[in-house]
Every structure is written in C-alpha cells, then in structure tokens.
Amino acid sequence: MPSSRSSIKQGILVLVAVILAPVVFVGSAALATGDWRAIGATASGDEVLVSSVTTKKSGLRTAWVRVEYKAPTRLPQGGPFVELRARVRFNCASGSAVPNSEWFYSRDRGGKLVVSKKARYDDQFGMVAEGGFGQITQNFVCGQK
C-alpha cells in the first residue's frame, strides 16, 4: 500500500508541474518585459519599444522587442495585428541582427492573444514586411553599455 500512495503522490506532483509550467513561463516573461522603453518610431508611425537587454558572449545581445502598430497591420504570420512582441538576438560585433527570433506575441486591440508562434528562423524580422523596425532596435540594443 505505501508504494501505491507514493505513485499517486508522484502522479499528482507531475500533473501539477505540467499545469503550472506554462503559467510560470508566461508570468516570468511578463515580469521580464515589464520595463518597456520607447526607443523610436518607424516611418509609418509604429511605436518601437525594447525591454530586458542582456549581454552574451562574443558581442551577442538578447532583448524583448515590442512594436505597437499605429493601424492594424497584416504580417507574414497573419493578422491584422496591432502589436508584435518577440525575443530577439543581435550580433553587435558584426553589426547585424541574428536572424533568429523566439516567441512572437501578436495581440488585437482588446489585448487578446491572437498568435503565439515560436520560430527558429525569421529572415523578415524587423524588415519592411514586418514594419521596418529592425534597424531602430539594433541601434538601441547594440548601443547599450
């Protein structure tokens, strides 16, 4: 009987961990991105914000990027969206963005999560198709001390 109780307890612990893991991840991402700093606007007036810049080895930096589109915008991921969020790596040593973005968050005007996508490679990140904010974010992130 003791091994049966132990198995049940382990099963419950695993179930709780599986249920809470996404909540903890999203919560930590929300906390990490709580210090948004407006860094400029695109030619079409979309506001660009950056949060949580961290320095890595060899001139690599990681930051959360948020773009608040002035008008609902259709992106390669779908749409129309009013906001895009992504965790992005920049190679400041070579002066280019690393074409690897993790976790896109696009929301509608009501704040409802419309798309959540993990991409290993996004060669259009920040380019004209996504609003033309790439150079603004790169300059800010790489200019941090």
- Across the chain, mean pLDDT equals 75
Share of the chain above pLDDT 70, in %: 64
Inform me whether the pLDDT recorded for 107 exceeds 90.
Answer: no
Q: How confident is the model at residue 20 (pLDDT cuts 50, 70, 90)?
A: low
Question: Which pLDDT does position 39 carry in this prediction?
Answer: 95
- Is the same domain home to 57 and 75? yes
**Residue linked to tokens 């695109």:** 42
Q: What is the pTM of this model?
A: 0.66
Q: Are residues 44 and 82 in the same domain?
A: yes
Residues 78 and 104 in one domain: yes
Average pLDDT of the segment spanning 13-22: 56
Q: In the chain, how many domains are there? A: 2
Task: Please state whether the peptide bond connecting residue 76 to the residue before it is cis, i.e. omega within 30 degrees of 0.
Answer: no
Domain identity same for 19 and 54: no
Residues 67 and 8 in one domain: no
Q: Name which residue leads in pLDDT, 29 or 90.
A: 90
Q: Are residues 13 and 52 in the same domain?
A: no
Higher pLDDT, 111 or 102: 111
Per DSSP, what are the bridge partners of residue 64? 51, 87
Q: What are phi and psi of 106, to 5 degrees?
A: -120, 130
Is residue 53 domain-shared with residue 108, that is, in the same domain?
yes
Tokens of residue 99, six digits = 């074409």
Higher pLDDT, 82 or 25: 82
Q: Which domain holds residue 12?
A: 1-32
Three-class HEC string of 61-98: EEEEEEEEEEEEEEECCEEEEEEEEEEEEEECCCCEEE
Q: Alpha helices of 103-144 — where are they, by DSSP H?
A: 134-142
Do 41 and 27 share a structural domain? no
The answer to whether residues 16 and 85 belong to one domain is no
CB of 104 within 8 A of CB of 117? yes
For residue 55, pLDDT beyond 80: yes
Collapsed DSSP state (helix, strand, coil) of residue 13? helix
pLDDT at 54: 85
| 111 and 63 co-located in one domain | yes
Residues 85 and 101 in one domain: yes
